[in-house]
Amino acid sequence: MSTVLTLLRKELLLERRVPQLVPAMSLFGVTTFVVFHFALGQRTVEGDLAAGILVVTLLFATILGVNRLYVADREEGGFDAFLLAPVDRTALGVAKAVTLFAFLVLVELVMLPAFAILLLGPGMDLEVVAKLGVVLLLVNLGLSVIGTLVGALAIQTRARDLIGPLIALPLLVPVVIGAARALSPVLSEGGAGALEGRWLGVLGLYDLVFGLLAYALFDFLLED
């Protein structure tokens, strides 16, 4: 745990001193909402369309962050130094996943108000925000775990900017489907509908499976 906290502190300090991921992901998300605002030809969206736009925009913003998650470690010798240290290799994976999760929360704090202003018809009251938070918690967990695993694999190749999205997008399809289905009644015109437990269960189970898979494989990916 001390190793994880040390690595997490390093990641957060690096992002604070030289902001890269959070501003880029936030700008991408807001710009995408602006494009949808003018491209759809309608002033507001709700239900399935609103959920789809929000989840897909978050997905591609995450891919943007995953491609840069390990770049500093690779280019500045961070991997070699970590492999020489007498610590558990999976600590780096846990720290990266927690870092990406924290970055996603910060990005959503920027994206959600922009989404509500530019596109969302029903608006956001406390009930909608609370239900959005529950779903996005599970979504962020899945995006973070899978993004960390895929990023560790892609950074070992020369075409990492291409390999990362090609591997991550198929793996994240169930997360996108589950999140869109869960958010559709929440963003409906008639007001915040009830969350469907089965889609929350799908997201939770998928997060658990890939969390265990990432924990088992990360050590081997780092060594290779």
pLDDT tens by residue, 105-119: 999 999 999 998 888
Residue 121 belongs to domain spanning: 2-223
Those residues with Cβ within 8 angstroms of residue 2's Cβ, 6 or more apart along the chain or in another chain: none
Burial of 197 (0-12, 13-18, 19+ CB in 10 A): exposed
Q: What confidence tens digit (pLDDT) does each residue in 137-173 have?
A: 999 999 999 998 888 888 777 777 788 888 889 999 9
Q: Helix, strand or coil for residue 45?
A: strand
pLDDT at 77: 62
Those residues with Cβ within 8 angstroms of residue 168's Cβ, 6 or more apart along the chain or in another chain: 63, 66, 146, 147, 150
CA dist., res. 122 & res. 81, Å (int): 51
pLDDT at 154: 81
Q: Could you give the number of structural domains in the chain? A: 1
pLDDT at 129: 84
Burial of 56 (0-12, 13-18, 19+ CB in 10 A): middle
pLDDT at 89: 73
CA dist., res. 21 & res. 151, Å (int): 14
Sequence length of the chain is 224
Look at residues 136, 108, 98, 78 and name the one whose alpha carbon lies nearest to residue 12: 98
Please, which pLDDT band fits residue 104 given cuts at 50, 70 and 90?
very high
Least confident window among 6-10, 34-38, 121-125, 178-182? 121-125
Q: What confidence tens digit (pLDDT) does each residue in 69-98 have?
A: 777 766 666 666 666 666 677 778 888 889
pLDDT at 8 over 80: no
pLDDT at 46: 85
